[in-house]
A = this chain, B = another copy of it.
């Protein structure tokens, strides 16, 4: 109960911050550079303010509070991370990528606003994430280096050696032989990197030491990989398992998954080990890690 209240408190901060910093629109053709064309504004808001669990910004705020950092300084970085996550979903859904018509029961961005504006809205959210991070950094001259290192950590994990590298290999994997190294690479970058990013950002904002940073990195990676394996297990138990498919590829989408490559039992064992390791990796933070611990337990217990 206390956990749910705390979770809602963090989500409230993120939603409020996003509403506050997103540029407003006043007309189809704004005369002033400080506002934003109406259609572009709507396109961005449609996907950004569509609800969702706000997992990444919640992790950033929780880690910041655990480490004794100032929550006020972490709100914009948390919102920026959600913008990066949202842009990646908009672009992932496009024709030429996954070409999806629905996401969470609503039509995808390009189905509503057209491919051109879905591309621009994604670009806009990505750029605005950095615009926000840099504006926020400039607003805290006493902690300027912390903010620059936090933004840099986010950029590294979101970029071409991070999430985008994972998306690239994921897109190519439909034409590749299933391979354990390749699968680990995709999971690490496409999923885990954007869960590690908020933890690193929080650590830099709060001025945490190297040991804390290493622990948080480990936690983020374990949670990310375990989450991805569970995701694939939930899919498999829904369909492919019934058909007895063991080809190393996910039945529906022709993509590699852990259960398909190693079997369902091995996947379950690996997931369990990773969840244990996630909890272990933050045990040194003691009671202060209560929210992060509960966060991992809740994710581990999910059934959908």
Contact = CB atoms under 8 A, between A and B. Distances in A.
A49 interface: no
Q: How many copies of this chain?
A: 2
Nearest to A150: B134
A115 interface: yes
Given A131-B152, A148-B138, A171-B117, A181 B124 contact: no
Contacts of A122: 123
A185 interface: yes
B36 A185 contact: no
A280 B135 CA distance: 32
A40 B186 CA distance: 14
B115 A160 contact: no
Interface stretch (A26-34, A52-60, A229-237, A258-266): A26-34
Interface of A: prevailing SS:
helix
A145 interface: yes
A181 B144 CA distance: 39
Contacts of A165: 30, 33, 36-37, 40
B181 A120 contact: no
Nearest to A36: B160
B164 A120 contact: yes
Contact of A36 (B120, B123, B161): B161
A96 B115 contact: yes
A114 interface: yes
A-B pairs with the 3 shortest C-beta distances? A96-B115, A40-B168, A131-B155
